[in-house]
Amino acid sequence: MQDKTDSNWPRFVRTPEAARLLDLSPRTLEKFRCDGTGPIYHKLGGRVVYALADLHAWVEACARQSTSGSASSKPAPRSPASGHTAAAAR
């Protein structure tokens, strides 16, 4: 069995601690689990746990630059004449 102090071993937190780290309520994380919209979680026995790396990855995946897209998406090209995005002109 792998030693828990091994640096490659993930650190797990339970729902209340994950909610505190994310500044959410535990109930919100429960709803996200049902909807499939929250961070990746693991079931160990009857316990729900979150790896800290999965919480960080979920936060990064939720990054946005505007209400219309993610931080990693390219902005729509602007029309030189109107200054509006090409998508808005359609």
Q: Classify residue 71: in a domain, yes or no.
A: no
CB 41 within 8 A of CB 54: yes
Q: Classify residue 73: in a domain, yes or no.
A: no
Q: What confidence score (pLDDT) does residue 68 get?
A: 83
Q: What confidence score (pLDDT) does residue 40 get?
A: 97
Q: Classify residue 89: in a domain, yes or no.
A: no
Among 4, 83, 14, 87, residue whose Cα is nearest residue 45: 14
Q: Classify residue 85: in a domain, yes or no.
A: no
Domain count, the chain: 1
Q: Is 54 helix (H, G, I), strand (E, B) or coil?
A: helix
CATH code assigned at 19: 1.10.10
CB 50 within 8 A of CB 12: yes
Q: Classify residue 46: in a domain, yes or no.
A: yes
Cβ–Cβ contacts within 10 Å for residue 56, how many?
12
- Enclosing domain of residue 47: 9-64
Instruction: Please list the rounded mean pLDDT of every run of 10 residues in the chain (90 residues).
Output: 68 96 96 96 95 96 85 53 49
Q: Which long-range contacts (CB under 8 A, 24 or more apart) does 34-41 make?
A: none
